[in-house]
Amino acid sequence: MNEHRTPPGPKGRLGLRNLFGWSTDQLGLLTGLKARYGDTVQMNVFGKPWVLVSHPKDIEAAMVKHAKVMGRDAYITILQRTLGQGLLTSDGELWKRQRKLMSAAFTPKKIATYAEAMVRVTDQALRPWRDGMEINLHHEMSRLTMEVVADVLFGAGMSKADVETVSDAMEVINEYYANSPEAVVMLPEWVPTPRHLRLKRAVESIDTLLYRIISDRRSSGETRDDLLGTLLAAQDDDGSGMTDQQLRDEAVTLFLAGHETTALALSHTLYLLSKYPDVARRVHEELTEVVGDRLPQADDVKKLVYTGWVLKEAMRLYSPAWTTGRESTADVEIGGYHIPKGSQILMSQWVVHRDPRWFPNPEAFDPDRWKDEASLPRYAYFPFGGGPRVCIGNHFAMMEATLLLGMVVQRFRLDLLPGERLELKPSVTLRQKGPGLKVRLFERERVTQQDQRPTVSAA
């Protein structure tokens, strides 16, 4: 290893200017660093090296080849304030044990059984929608995916009031992570700022609810086929299962990762369909051919090929996970450069997914580009991360997104209201800035007769 070959990057030992850029415009900062310095860039933040890695083979090296010396990044300590030691935030032997126990709930056979709940909940959630109604796109998708996750996770054990409690608390948590000064500078949790106090109350409300549900289920001795039932039954080699604390941490992780990311993927996809009516027509035509007028089923997902391309393309442009971080626990070599122990390594989906080397005309929304997916380098597209830590719920999420998107497009066309613009606010996920996009609903029966609008040419 050439220990003297340091990646290029902006000057400054302390990196206060880099910290300012990170706290005000992460997407612009990362895009600019890649454009100016290339595939491997080092910048200092508080005197510590942060390395942006943007070539697929180097991302694979970090996530796969060097996986054993890649720990969670420094920001994980902030996420642990709400998620505890769940699969997203744990490390080492605890992570290995939890991953093994959680895998029982995410086998292909098990995931297929969740489809019925996804479709049933979505069918009920869409019934209040009416022709001509105006809705807040992200709020509606967030409500829908929250109800789906709650049903799949807890079944009948969660009331409507319980779902609202979790939804309200998760909104406080998401706002905390959306570039609050406390989160950006990792202000100690004990500092009693108004935002810290709101976060504490939100976590307490979720904990009260989840521990009650877990206690009731344990004491009843009842066996259920929901996700909680699977986790309660999961056992390690020594016969031990999850503690109440571990069940709580994994449940909160599923609410954050399983609800928020899918809501964003759906709202961004529907936003793009509102701008590309020819693509929306093709999705509807495929649904008519595969599903017809009935409710979709798990077996339909693999047949909805074009719908899958549309989701992949929307997640390429607006990946809910816009960057993935690791911390090197030993010196490594990546991209021909020496990366010292303790470096924060960033791999940004936002940057790599818009690289013209892998995606010609990268700013365009073009689902047909996925016809030739096999020609893409590995890790040119990684919305769910990769390596041993690849998102355990990736197949669950894609099935959910496909079914939910299909049911919306089956019934409605969504038109963006005049003056509405997509602005982004990166936090833990790539959220929409402000109150969210507003759209008008048009029942699909009218659309097939009237929708002859021209295609909008830019995403």
DSSP letters, 39-102, are: SEEEEEETTEEEEEE-SHHHHHIIIIITGGGEE--TTHHHHHHHHTT-TTT--HHHHHHHHHHH
Reference 242, options 340, 98, 142, 118; nearest CA is: 98
- pLDDT of res. 227: 87
Tell me how many domains the chain contains.
Answer: 1
Structural domain includes residue 440: no
- pLDDT of res. 322: 96
Structural domain includes residue 62: yes
- pLDDT of res. 362: 97
The 8 Å CB, 24+ separation contacts for 89-98 are 89/249, 89/253, 97/236, 98/242, 98/246, 98/250
Element (H, E) at 431: strand 430-432
Structural domain includes residue 199: no
23 neighbors 16 (Cβ within 8 angstroms): no
Amino acid at 390: V
Distance CA 133, CA 110 (A): 37
- Determine how many CB atoms are found less than 10 A away from the CB of residue 303: 13
Distance CA 106, CA 103 (A): 5
Structural domain includes residue 396: no
Distance CA 435, CA 175 (A): 12
Structural domain includes residue 17: yes
Q: DSSP for 384-421?
A: T--GGGS-TTHHHHHHHHHHHHHHHHHHEEEEEPTT--
- pLDDT of res. 155: 83
Domain extent at residue 338: 1-78+326-355
Per-residue pLDDT of the chain (459 residues; tens, 9 = 90+): 455 799 999 987 777 788 778 778 899 999 999 999 999 999 988 888 999 999 999 999 999 999 999 988 887 888 889 989 988 889 889 999 999 999 989 999 999 999 999 999 999 999 999 999 999 999 999 999 999 999 988 886 788 898 899 889 988 888 888 767 788 778 888 889 999 999 999 999 999 999 999 998 899 887 777 888 888 888 888 888 899 999 999 998 888 877 889 999 999 999 999 999 999 999 999 999 999 999 999 999 999 999 999 999 999 999 999 999 999 999 999 999 999 999 999 999 999 999 999 999 999 999 999 999 999 999 999 999 999 999 999 999 999 999 999 999 999 999 999 999 999 988 888 988 888 899 999 998 744 444 444 444 445
Structural domain includes residue 86: no
343 neighbors 47 (Cβ within 8 angstroms): no
Greatest Cα pair distance in the chain: 67
Residue 343: HSE in the Cβ half-sphere, 13 Å Cα cutoff: 28
CATH of the domain at 46: 3.30.43.20
48-53 and 40-45: which strand pairing?
Answer: antiparallel
Structural domain includes residue 27: yes
Structural domain includes residue 46: yes
Neighbouring-strand partners of residue 31:
none
- pLDDT of res. 454: 46
pTM above 0.85, yes or no: yes
- pLDDT of res. 2: 52
